[in-house]
Amino acid sequence: MSRKYFGTDGIRGTVGQGPITPDFVLRLAHAVGRVLKRSEDRPTVLIGKDTRISGYMLESALESGFNSAGVDVVLLGPLPTPGVAYLTRAQRASLGVVISASHNPFADNGIKFFSSQGTKLSDVWESDVEATLEEAPVWADSASLGKTRRLNDAAGRYIEFCKSTFAHDLSLRGVKIVVDAAHGAAYHIAPMVFHELGAEVVAIGCTPDGLNINHEVGATHPQALVRAVKESGAQFGVALDGDADRLQLIDGEGRLFNGDEILYLMVKERLSRGQNASCKCSEESVPGVVGTLMTNMAVELALKAKGVELVRAKVGDRYVLEELEKRGWVLGGEGSGHLLALDKHTTGDGIISALQVLQACLRSRQTLAQLLVEVTLFPQVLINVRLRPQQEWQTNTQLAAATKSVEQELGNQGRVLIRASGTEPLVRVMVEARDASQAQSCAERIADTLR
């Protein structure tokens, strides 16, 4: 279904350029409000944001747009995306709205929405909003205008929720953790969660100024965390992104663990407690988790050895969530650090994912490296090939032959993934193999057929 404004994760762009302008955002909120009013007489919408300077402007535009359609607004202030999802459900609100561009630099911003159940909304709903945007506004009269109030303890409520997902018989007392909030929405929340669970916390990336979100800190720039862990002698480092739905972990040696490895650890911890690895269905159901087309093959093989099926979805946590819901499973994620544990939360949550892994280390009395001793990630080589105008790659017989040859050479010790970029005239050639040089040479052979 073609959409003009909505992408895979809401509406996003550079501030001051369409669609991230105050006039459009006001119209967007008015249209969303009209859609809500079709099924509810007096809807209430929660609005949270990250720490970008543009958040103030966009928050005001959203507030006006919703009020003008007769929708009440509750302002949450700076709050992680998963925190908005949680409070939308807990407050029985009609809708949750997040002002954030996630891991992007401060000059970008975006708007994304959560249903009353704290889940992402469907393509059909987004298309309904876009159709309403094309209609003339229907301004509410003075007596019908929406009202706005602020939920002053939003951060405290979300902190308690995060803590509730950690095992009640465990404590982080005696554990030193460096927490990097990317100068983003969790700057005042993530350190408190770990501190209140008993940890000694060293905070970095927790002094936002409106312009420094994700700048050389956070999950997309973990080098700062690696340095801080080594300098402080901490056992763990936790890196979030600007809206705190993404996680990267560092151990005391400064080794970085990505989302694929963290997903494996979450499964392993549940298996160690005798749980049906990741299924909320009946016990006879086949346990499984959902990764993406980019999930490392080493993790897939390690899960298979434990009797756990890995199903691959398209790249994007939205598609991982869709696959989990379809199968009734609860664990899934991406290498980028978007991780889902649907028995803990309705959406990806970096803080909660970190707590699940720390729980595994405490229960097993092992380090991250020890827990992952059976997983050595396969080298992945990614080559982007720019297409010439009108160049057809799907029907390229040389490409098909080279791909088949490489797949035969790799057997079950590697794989090939070829896909088009969604934003540029590029074909992405990815080869994964146990041997890095073999992965490189195979990727080059395939890419050469497109050049």
Give me the helix-helix angle, 22-37 and 54-68, nearest 10°.
Answer: 40
CA distances from 233 to 202, 226, 230, 251, 254 (A): 10, 11, 5, 10, 10
How large is the angle between the packed helices 350-364 and 259-272, nearest 10 degrees? 50
- Which residues carry out catalysis? 102
The tokens describing 317, both together, are 């946590």
Contacts of 10 (CB under 8 A, 6+ apart): 98, 110, 111, 112, 113
Residue 50's closest CA among 216, 223, 245, 331?
245
β-sheet bridge partners, residue 109: 13
Residue 10 tokens read as: 């809401």
| CA of residue 325 relative to chain centroid, distance | 16
**Residues 6+ away with beta carbon under 8 Å from 339:** 247, 259, 262, 263, 266, 332, 333, 348, 349, 350, 353
Contact 53, 210 (CB under 8 A): yes
- Contacts for 14-18: CB closer than 8 Å, 24+ residues apart: 14/107, 14/108, 15/52, 15/54, 15/57, 15/107, 15/108, 15/109
